[in-house]
A and B are shown apart, each in its own frame.
Chain A
Amino acid sequence: MDVRFINPFLNGTVQVLKTMAFVEPKAGKPFLKKDSLARGDISGIIGLTGSARGSLALSFSESCILKIVSNMLGEEIKSLNGDIKDAVGEITNMVSGAARKELETLGFNITAAIPTVVAGKDHSISHVLGGPSIIIPFETPQGPFVVDICIGGVGGK
């Protein structure tokens, strides 16, 4: 995967969580993931098409996403309920939008589909391109989450 794709998704993730949930995640070192196992308890996945094609997933640990959504809504959420699933989809959508805006400055015009959300221990993530994917790990005071991206340029980009 082209390394130019990593920073826009990293920056977009930090920007979205900082602005909407007042959480400042710290990014770790990206690594290659060859299996389809999600690295979190709940994941939002969104397909990307255009001058680059692939998919983006955000997988959150339960403790982490409970804090993020509680901050977003201004009320304490204690379990992975419908509000959490809904918010994970919206966060995925916003990160995709912020990353695509940055990728546009690199010459990539990418559109996104409507996100889907999967929850449960050891759920899997099916990337559009099959994989392998790049994992960007993040830490927050309430627990970890990862950005899981599998994307490639189209037409020699």
Chain B
Amino acid sequence: MSVDKNLKILIVDDFATMRKVIRNLLKQGGYENIVEAEDGAAALKILKSQPVDFIISDWNMPNMSGLELLKAVRADDELKALPFLMVTAEALKDNVVAAVKAGVSNYIVKPFTAEVLNEKIEKIVKSLAA
């Protein structure tokens, strides 16, 4: 089964450069339908106002962290089934455990390549379809 490249992906990161880097890596995988938010609070506003198929979020952000966003998404009846990929520099065991407990779909530790990012997306989408 191939993954629909028209998935609408929300990139959440407080660093505009990192959002641009992730956008470029996604384009290499054929994903062009992308929206961006600079923190968890801005991401929630987007999620409440337009349909999104997939969330890729940083962990450390001001206003609302990636973990807080993940918890908010999983607590919302309309959003709770959304695939959520955490992309972060936080590789400590405690962080991974906290994200898994909160219901993260998968986890990528920075730095990463386009291949790793696209593999994770495919893995998540295919597991949901199974």
CB distance from A73 to the nearest CB of B (A): 6
B93 touches A20 (CB 8 A): no
A86 touches B17 (CB 8 A): yes
The answer to whether the Cβ of B129 comes within 8 Å of any Cβ in the partner chain is no
A90 touches B15 (CB 8 A): yes
With A73-B21, A96-B89 in contact, do A89 and B15 touch (Cβ < 8 Å)? yes
The answer to whether the Cβ of A93 comes within 8 Å of any Cβ in the partner chain is yes
The answer to whether the Cβ of A132 comes within 8 Å of any Cβ in the partner chain is no
With A109-B94, A114-B62 in contact, do A98 and B16 touch (Cβ < 8 Å)? no
CB distance from B32 to the nearest CB of A (A): 15
Q: Which of A74, A83, A98 contacts B24 (CB 8 A)?
A: A74
CB distance from B35 to the nearest CB of A (A): 19
Bound Cα distance from A28 to B118, whole angstroms: 35
Between B15, B17, B21, the greatest number of chain A beta carbons within 10 A of the residue's beta carbon is seen for B17
CB distance from B31 to the nearest CB of A (A): 15
Q: Which of A19, A83, A93, A112 contacts B16 (CB 8 A)?
A: A83
Q: Which of B20, B92, B93, B111 contacts A15 (CB 8 A)?
A: B111
Bound Cα distance from A82 to B111, whole angstroms: 21
Identify the 5 closest CB pairs spanning chains A and B, nearest first: A97-B89, A19-B111, A101-B91, A86-B17, A87-B17
Using A94-B110, A97-B90 as known contacts, list a sample of 8 further A-B pairs with CB atoms less than 8 Å apart, ordered by residue number in A.
A69-B17, A72-B21, A87-B17, A97-B89, A101-B109, A109-B92, A112-B89, A114-B62
Give me the interface of B with A, judged by CB distance under 8 Å. 15-18, 20-21, 24, 60, 62, 88-94, 109-113
7 contacting pairs across A/B (C-beta < 8 A): A83-B16, A87-B15, A93-B89, A97-B88, A97-B110, A98-B111, A101-B109
